[in-house]
């Protein structure tokens, strides 16, 4: 018999009140309680029934429930021990499809816990959102990473930096390090009033899907290059890249005018310069 993906559950507000889950600012807690909105977020990756998912920071379990309603198998890591009794109730409702890990997502081996091909979905705590993203983006690509997609809520400003196009104010390291081997888009804007308590700024859900990485590029070369180029983003490349051995030669080899500024270069230009840097240091 197919599993009922929608067992009756108490309203999230009741769960929060019963377990005394007053939002902690230090843990970046802004809860989402609107089940329709949560279902729309959980639908973004387009997971098949029985797909695998990994969630960071389930909190009282709103997004967790929505992910489970898609029919997915889910591993979720929560740092706030106060949330564990509420999450244990959810585990009882979905005994075969939910596993909760009590701990810090920065320390957990997500690949080992969630397994190959998992979709990562999270309403991220603001203070660890970017380091977690960078960690997932830095995973080995063989020819794809272990995760199938990232569906992540960020503050709008961070979301804009991830999807930014060349020539815009938000274009920088995060855009290049994301887009050189993945497609990234803002899948949904979320008004601050959707959260309890409302944060100061607007938010957005970013959807990232990996592509096969271009051949012969080491991530470390791209990281050094973008750090130098955008470290002094208003300067010409011939100035900002002066301290990076081989970079000016690489610019010439690729045919990029050293008088240009970093923000005018396409992601593909950075990839080509990094390729030359790699060849030069081989």
How do beta strands 203-210 and 182-190 pair? antiparallel
Quick one: 153 or 164, whose CB is closer to ligand SAM?
Answer: 153
Shortest Å distance, C-beta 115 to ligand SAM: 19
Edge-to-edge, what's the strand order for the sheet holding 73-78? Answer: 98-102, 73-78, 52-56, 119-123, 149-155, 203-210, 182-190
Quick one: 204 or 241, whose CB is closer to ligand SAM?
Answer: 204
Quick one: 128 or 229, whose CB is closer to ligand SAM?
Answer: 128
Quick one: 58 or 145, whose CB is closer to ligand SAM?
Answer: 58
Shortest Å distance, C-beta 28 to ligand SAM: 5
Which residues have C-beta within 8 Å of that of residue 251, sequence separation ≥ 6? 237, 238, 241, 257, 258, 273
Quick one: 151 or 179, whose CB is closer to ligand SAM?
Answer: 151
Quick one: 144 or 205, whose CB is closer to ligand SAM?
Answer: 205
> What's the full length of the chain, in residues?
282
Q: Are 100 and 91 in contact (CB under 8 A)?
A: yes
Quick one: 32 or 277, whose CB is closer to ligand SAM?
Answer: 32
Shortest Å distance, C-beta 30 to ligand SAM: 5
- The stretches of the chain forming alpha helices (DSSP H) are 12-18, 35-43, 62-69, 84-93, 110-114, 129-137, 156-163, 173-179, 219-231, 237-240, 247-254, 267-280
SS3 call for 180: coil
Shortest Å distance, C-beta 38 to ligand SAM: 7
Q: Are 95 and 76 in contact (CB under 8 A)?
A: no
Whole-angstrom Cα distance, residue 189 to residue 40? 12
Which residues make beta-bridge pairs with 73? 52
Taking the CA atoms of residue 138, residue 177, residue 185 and residue 159 in that order, the dihedral angle to the nearest 10 degrees is 90
Q: Which residues bind ligand SAM (CB under 6 A)?
A: 27-32, 56-59, 62-63, 77-80, 83, 104-106, 123, 125, 128
Shortest Å distance, C-beta 78 to ligand SAM: 5
Q: Which residue has the closest beta carbon to ligand SAM?
A: 57
Q: Are 119 and 95 in contact (CB under 8 A)?
A: no
Shortest Å distance, C-beta 209 to ligand SAM: 22
Shortest Å distance, C-beta 110 to ligand SAM: 11
């Amino acid at each position: 018999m197919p599993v009922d993906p929608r067992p009756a559950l108490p309203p999230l507000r009741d769960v929060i009140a019963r377990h005394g889950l007053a939002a902690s600012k230090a843990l970046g807690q802004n809860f989402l309680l609107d089940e329709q909105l949560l279902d729309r977020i959980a639908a973004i990756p387009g997971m098949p029934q029985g797909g695998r998912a990994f969630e960071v920071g389930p909190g009282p379990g709103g997004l967790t429930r929505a992910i489970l309603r898609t029919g997915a198998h889910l591993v979720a890591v929560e740092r706030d021990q106060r949330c564990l009794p509420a999450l244990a109730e959810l585990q009882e409702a979905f005994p075969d499809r939910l596993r909760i890990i009590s701990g810090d997502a920065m320390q957990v081996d997500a690949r080992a816990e969630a397994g190959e091909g998992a979709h990562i979905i999270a309403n991220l705590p603001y203070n660890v959102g970017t380091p977690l993203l960078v960690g997932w983006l830095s995973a080995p690509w063989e020819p794809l990473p272990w995760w199938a997609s990232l569906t992540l809520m960020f503050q709008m400003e961070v979301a804009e930096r991830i999807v930014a196009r060349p020539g815009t104010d938000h274009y920088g390291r995060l855009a290049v390090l994301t887009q050189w081997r993945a497609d990234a888009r803002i899948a949904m804007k979320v008004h601050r009033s959707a959260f309890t308590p409302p944060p100061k700024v607007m938010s957005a859900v970013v959807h990232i899907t990996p592509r096969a990485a271009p051949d012969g590029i080491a991530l470390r070369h791209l990281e050094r290059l973008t750090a130098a180029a955008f470290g002094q983003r208003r300067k010409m490349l011939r100035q900002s890249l002066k301290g990076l051995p081989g970079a000016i030669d690489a610019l010439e080899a690729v045919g990029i005018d050293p008088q240009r500024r970093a923000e005018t270069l396409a992601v593909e230009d950075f990839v080509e310069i990094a390729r030359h840097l790699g060849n030069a240091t081989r």
